[in-house]
């Protein structure tokens, strides 16, 4: 096996996806699977389709093109607000997008009319997380401006993200405001808008408790399905497998060294000034993976007696003095990634993503 590798247990991810789909269906909510966690891997899109998800979301058009080229039957949605420079590509790559700028929506409408394309748009609402989205007080004027689109773009509802930028969690109140925003836009434009879409694994907790207001009918999700965790709520989701993904790297050196550097200490390559505790001689292993590939603060060794010491761009240094195994060069070591680490590994061209 090539190292480093991010190993995906297809069976466990499929089980997680089916569990989420079943839960949401029981509450009248469709699920759209976010693929950016594995950099738009078509194999993940295939799992989402098999689990009964209603669509695919990604923040990069390049990823959505990969999925389209793979023959996935699911509709595609661009969930990062579009750049003006990519609207022509958006029109032919995704059936739906999330938008929060009036000028962008109008230009997309013009492009779609010229190309003979119908494109669905969800108006993003800022529900308090202070990322993208119309502020609710802007909606009446925005709705009036968008009332007379030429027919290329059809506004089908509203959407919001939670806990992405500022950590604001979903509540019954802020989710209910989304439904109110949808109804206000629909009233001004005179058009039916059936979709209220919420983003983030943190929304699962509301759905589990039956607290999602009537009218919220789409969930966009990634982390829970892949990792079985909800970082925003700081919880492990009890009915989902947490060990579906494993990061494996190869040891390239293993020997005893002092625990404190010898010489004057300045700043590391990534700008931090390290602090060390003298623990005497320690056995250290160096692995062929580094900060260029992974967020080292968001991985946990599966051997609980291994301790991460530090990393450069290309090397991860771990203390194996009390490890449960005898490590040497050529051996592999495995880690459990959290969301930021998974995202970095899947994006790095130096880490192979393997489905087993």
> Strand 76-78 relative to strand 218-221: parallel, antiparallel, unpaired?
unpaired
Given the residues 36, 147, 154, 283, select the one marked as catalytic: 36
- The answer to whether the beta carbons of residues 353 and 35 sit under 8 Å apart is no
Which is nearest to 136 in space by CA: 147, 123, 149, 122? 123
Q: Please identify which residue in the block is written with the tokens 């450069």.
A: 312
CA dihedral 103, 104, 105, 109 (to 10 degrees): 100
Alpha-helical (H) ranges within the chain are 10-26, 42-50, 61-69, 87-93, 102-115, 139-145, 172-189, 203-208, 223-227, 339-347
Which tokens is 141 given?
């004027």
- Token code pair at residue 235: 């919880």
Q: Please state whether beta strands 195-199 and 153-161 pair in parallel, antiparallel, or not at all (unpaired).
A: parallel
Which is it for strands 76-78 and 96-99: parallel, antiparallel or unpaired? parallel
List CB contacts of 31: < 8 A, sequence separation 6 or more. Answer: 20, 21, 24, 52, 53, 54, 218, 219, 220, 221
The answer to whether the peptide bond before residue 187 is cis (omega within 30 degrees of 0) is no
**Catalytic annotation on 36?**
yes
Vertex 45 angle, CA 42 and 47, to 5°: 115
Residues designated catalytic: 36
């Amino acid at each position: 096996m090539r190292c480093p590798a991010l190993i995906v247990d297809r069976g466990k991810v499929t089980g997680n996806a089916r569990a989420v789909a079943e839960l949401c269906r029981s509450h009248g909510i469709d699920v759209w699977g976010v693929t950016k966690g594995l950099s738009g891997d078509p194999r993940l899109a295939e799992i989402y389709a098999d689990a009964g998800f209603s669509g695919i979301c990604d923040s990069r058009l390049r990823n959505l093109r990969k999925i389209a080229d793979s023959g996935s039957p699911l509709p595609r949605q661009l969930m990062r607000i579009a750049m003006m420079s990519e609207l022509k590509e958006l029109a032919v790559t995704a059936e739906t997008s999330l938008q929060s700028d009036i000028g962008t929506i109008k230009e997309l409408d013009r492009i779609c009319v010229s190309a003979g394309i119908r494109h669905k748009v969800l108006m993003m609402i800022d529900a308090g997380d202070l990322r993208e989205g119309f502020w609710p007080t802007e909606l009446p004027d925005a709705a009036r401006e968008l009332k007379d689109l030429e027919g290329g773009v059809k506004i089908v509802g509203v959407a919001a993200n939670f806990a992405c930028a500022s950590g604001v969690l979903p509540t019954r109140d802020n989710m209910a405001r989304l439904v109110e925003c949808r109804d206000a836009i629909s009233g001004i434009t005179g058009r039916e808008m059936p979709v209220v879409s919420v983003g983030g694994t943190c929304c699962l907790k509301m759905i589990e408790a039956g607290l999602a207001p009537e009218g919220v009918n789409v969930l966009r999700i990634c982390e829970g399905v892949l990792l079985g965790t909800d970082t925003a709520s700081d919880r492990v989701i009890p009915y989902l497998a947490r060990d579906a993904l494993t990061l494996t790297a190869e040891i390239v050196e293993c020997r005893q060294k002092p625990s404190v550097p010898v010489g004057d200490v300045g700043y590391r390559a990534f700008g931090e000034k390290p602090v060390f505790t003298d623990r005497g001689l320690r056995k250290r292993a160096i692995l062929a993976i580094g900060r260029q590939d992974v967020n080292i603060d968001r991985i946990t060794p599966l051997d609980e007696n291994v301790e991460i010491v530090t990393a450069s761009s290309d090397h991860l240094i771990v203390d194996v003095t009390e490890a449960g195994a005898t490590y040497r060069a050529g051996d592999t070591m495995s880690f459990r990634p959290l969301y930021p680490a998974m995202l970095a590994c899947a994006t790095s061209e130096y880490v192979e993503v393997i489905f087993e």
